[in-house]
Amino acid sequence: MRYALRNKRKEAHLTQEEVANALNISRPAYCKIECGTTDPSLALALRIAAFFNSSVEDLFSNINSPSNEIHKENIA
């Protein structure tokens, strides 16, 4: 799960359908990107980042995912 991407969408009070329409892609395609089962092309990743006024790194890195936070706690 790409939590940063999902959180940006929810903070904007948008549905996956609304984001997909704005990006001119299907809702299932956007869902796969948000769920992490598909990686977007660089061009699409840049469009998504621009749509959310964010960076590609902030939206698509796994730094803030819950599993990484748990992993960090186990290391410390």
b/e string for 31-57 if b means 16 or more Cβ within 10 A?
eebbeeeeebeeebbebbbebbeeeee
User: Could you read off the pLDDT of 36-63 as tens digits, one per residue?
Assistant: 999 999 999 999 999 999 999 999 986 5
Looking at the structure of the chain, the number of domains it has is: 1
pTM for the model stands at 0.79
- Asked if residues 58 and 26 have their Cβ atoms less than 8 Å apart, the reply is no
User: Could you read off the pLDDT of 5-32 as tens digits, one per residue?
Assistant: 999 999 999 999 999 999 999 999 999 9
pLDDT for the residue numbered 69: 44
Q: Which domain holds residue 11?
A: 3-75
Which CATH number goes with the domain that contains 70?
Answer: 1.10.260.40
pLDDT value at 72 more than 60? no
